[in-house]
A = this chain, B = another copy of it.
């Protein structure tokens, strides 16, 4: 759960990161950045700001903005019925982006969120430069983290059904609850 104030701050931070990256957003887009805490209630450590640019039955394009050191929790895109599962290419745009995938543990720049070591099992670190990209096929476990400057990246994928993503952390709830605590 996040408060409305947290949601507003995170949206503003995401818009700032995206515009600082030189990308252009329409006014209506600035107002609909999704703030996701993944139900973990610790948005600065674990979460993401996501702006959906295209979402059809066949494909999805999103901008992902991460605030400094924010980790997008480890997950994968499973097969669902006849659907082979979401295929996703993440293209880094600006800031520091660390991607963790299966392979020999090389984590050095990133920091697993405190007390969550067992929930971030992929420790092979890819440090992306702007323009670098990585494709995840269905079933590939992965997580992301921004470095000290935050990060902005595109996600190009087959149609996104976020609620079907599977997370290593059983406490993850993909739908973020916003409390009106500060009204």
| Residues in chain A within 8 A of chain B (CB atoms) | 22-26, 29, 53-54, 56, 58-59, 61, 87, 89, 91, 93-94, 130-133, 135, 156-158
Residue among A22, A54, A91 with most chain B CB within 10 A:
A54
Q: A53-B91, A54-B135, A89-B54 are in contact. Are A156 and B59 (CB under 8 A)?
A: yes
Instruction: List, in ascending order, chain B residues with CB within 8 A of A53's CB.
Output: 91, 133, 156
The smallest beta-carbon distance between A87 and chain B, in angstroms, is 5
Instruction: List, in ascending order, chain B residues with CB within 8 A of A156's CB.
Output: 53-54, 59, 61, 156
Nearest CB to that of A26 among chain B residues?
A: B131
Partner of A61, one of B56, B87, B89: B89
Smallest CB-CB A-B distances: 5 pairs: A22-B22, A26-B131, A24-B131, A24-B130, A54-B89
Nearest CB to that of A57 among chain B residues?
A: B87
